[in-house]
Structure 1
Amino acid sequence: MGTITQALGLSEEQVRRLLQTAALAPSLHNTQPWRFRLTPDWIEVHLDRGRKLRVADPDGRELRIAGGAALFNLRLGLIGLGIRPVVTVLPDPANPDLVAIVRRGGRRRATPEQQRLLAAVPRRRTNRRPFAEVAVASPARYELTRAATEEGAWLHLVTDPQQRSELGWLARQAHQRQSADPAFLAEIAAWTGHEAGRPDGVPAAAGGPQPLSNGAWVMRDFTGGTGRIDGPDFEAEPLIGVLSVHTDGPREEIRAGEALQRVLLTATVHGLSVSFLSQLVEIPDVRDRMRRLLSGTRPPLAVLRIGHGWPVAATPRLRVEDLVLPASAATSTTPAHTDKELADDPHRA
Structure 2
Amino acid sequence: MALVRDATAAPSMHNAQPWRFQYSRRNRVFHLRADLRGALPHTDPVLRALHIGCGAALMNLRVAVAHEGWQATTRVLPDPSDPMLLATVTLTGPLGDKDDPAALYPAVHTRHTSRYPFAEAEIPMSVRTALVDAADQEHVSLSFASGWHLQSVLDLAREGEARNLTDAGAAADLDRFTRRADDTRPATEGVPEYAFGPLRRIGKAPMRDFAGGKTVPGRPTADFETSPHLALLTTSRDRPVDWLRTGQAVERVLLRATLAGLSASFVTQALEWHDLRWPLRDPMSGNAYVQMVLRLGYGPPGTRTPRRPVQDVLDIEP
TM over 0.5: yes
Say if 2:115 and 2:195, in contact at 8 Å, map to a contact too: yes
Q: CA deviation at 1:26?
A: 0.6
Contact 2:67 2:103 in 1 (8 A): no
Tell me which amino acid in the other structure corresponds to 2:133.
R
Distance 1:136 1:226 in 2: 34
Count of residue pairs brought into register by the alignment: 311
Match of 2:121 among 123, 134, 138: 134
| Equivalence for 2:151 | 165
The 5 Å alignment of 1:76-155 reads 76-109=63-96, 114-155=101-142
Q: CA offsets, 1:111-160, max 9 Å, x none?
A: 6753431111000001111111122122111111110001110111112x
Q: Which moved more, 1:223-232 or 1:37-46?
A: 223-232
Q: 1:58 to 1:140 in 2, by over 3 A?
A: same
1:275 aligns with 2:260: no
Asked whether the equivalents of residues 193 and 223 of structure 1 are also in contact (C-alpha less than 8 Å), the reply is: no
Whether 1:51 aligns to 2:51 is no
The residue aligned with 2:187 is 198
Gaps of 5+ in 1: 1-15, 329-349
RMSD: 2.0
Structure 1 distance, partners of 2:211, 2:302, is 15
Give, in whole Å, the separation in 1 of the partners of 2:161 and 2:303.
25
Q: How far apart, CA to CA, are the structure 2 residues paired with 1:233 and 1:111? A: 44
- SS of the residue corresponding to residue 84 of structure 1 reads strand
Alpha-carbon shift at residue 232 of structure 1 (Å): 3.6
Work out whether residues 113 and 303 of structure 2, in 8 Å CA contact, stay in contact via their aligned partners in 1: no
Q: Give, in angstroms, the shift of residue 110 of structure 1.
A: 6.9
Unaligned runs of at least 5 residues, structure 2: none
| 1:285 and 2:271 matched | no
Distance, in Å, in 2 between the alignment partners of 1:112 and 1:132 is 33
Residue aligning to 1:343: none
Distance 1:55 1:259 in 2: 25
Report the identity percentage: 36
Call closer, same or farther: CA 1:292–1:306 in 2, change over 3 Å.
closer
Once the two structures are TM-superposed, the CA of residue 106 in structure 1 deviates from its matched residue by 2.2
Q: 2:199 aligns with which of 199, 210, 222?
A: 210
Amino acid at match of 1:239: H
1:240·1:305 contact (CA, 8 Å) conserved in 2?
A: yes
Which has the higher mean CA deviation after the structures are superposed, 296-305 or 34-43? 296-305
Shift of the 132–110 alpha-carbon distance from structure 1 to 2, 3 Å rule, reads farther
Q: Is the 8 A contact 2:203 2:223 kept in 1?
A: no
From the superposition, tell whether residues 110 and 64 of structure 1 become closer, same or farther in structure 2 (CA, over 3 Å).
farther
Distance 1:96 1:193 in 2: 31
Query: Which amino acid is 2:210 matched to?
Result: F
Change (3 A) 1:55 1:292: same
Letter in 1 for 2:207: M
Deviation by residue 1:233-257 (Cα, 9 ceiling, x = unmatched): 1111111000112210111111111
Q: Which residue of 2 aligns with 1:321?
A: 311
Report which stretch shifted further, 273-282 or 225-234: 225-234
For the Cα contact (< 8 Å) 1:116–1:269, is it kept in 2?
no
AA aligned to 2:69 is G
Residue equivalent to 1:301: 291
Q: Deviations over 1:38-65 (max 9, x none)?
A: 1121110111012100111111000001
Structure with bigger strand share is 2
Structure 1 distance, partners of 2:150, 2:284, is 10
Letter in 1 for 2:13: L
CA distance in 1, matches of 2:295, 2:204: 12
The separation in 1 between residues aligned to 2:100 and 2:274, in whole angstroms, is 36
Are positions 1:251 and 2:241 aligned together?
yes
State the match for 2:58 in structure 1. Answer: 71
Task: Using structure 2 for the length normalisation, give the TM-score.
Answer: 0.92
Distance 1:61 1:119, change over 3 A: same
Query: Aligned to 1:26, what secondary structure does the other structure show?
Result: coil
Kept after mapping to 2: 8 A contact 1:242/1:302: yes
1-structure distance, mates of 2:123, 2:108: 21
SS in 2 for 1:91: coil
